[in-house]
Amino acid sequence: MALYLSSDAGEPAAGELSEINVVPFIDVMLVLLIIFMVAAPLATVDIKVDLPQVNPVAAPPRDTPPLTLSIRADGALFLQEEPVTLETLGAALETASGGDREERLFIHADQDLPYGQLMGVVERVRGAGFLRVAFVGLESAAP
């Protein structure tokens, strides 16, 4: 609140001004604006991740079993439970998918499989034109 003084007789006049001082309000708003302008770009994530569906009820029923590639710890490959070699993997994928390279390939890999060997198989799959690859794991209880 502000009071005004009268200069007529030198005595202060009783009364209040009903003006609002907005300068501190503007200062606070400008500081908040700057904070949000700096923080907003930091909150965005530019990494594209193909996330799996979490609601299995919403998934449409499949007429055929999903396309799966299993890799054992010794490096043996199995496409739909049929043994394949790394050299024939591309042709076997083409045959199993019916030529549909947009079909998702689910990879079951043993946890003791070396990472480099797994990446070699994934590169063969990508080289065959199958870019939609998903890794399958077991759910575990939270510690």
pLDDT tens by residue, 5-23: 555 555 555 667 677 888 8
| pLDDT value of position 101 | 87
| pLDDT value of position 10 | 54
| pLDDT value of position 62 | 67
pLDDT tens by residue, 84-138: 999 999 999 999 988 888 889 999 888 888 989 999 999 999 999 999 998 887 7
pTM for the predicted model, two decimal places = 0.55
Q: Quick one: which of 54, 57, 108 has its CA closest to 79? A: 108
Q: Which residue type sits at 22? A: V
| pLDDT value of position 5 | 56
Contact 96, 87 (CB under 8 A): no
User: Taking every pair of C-alpha atoms in the chain, what is the biggest distance, in angstroms?
Assistant: 108
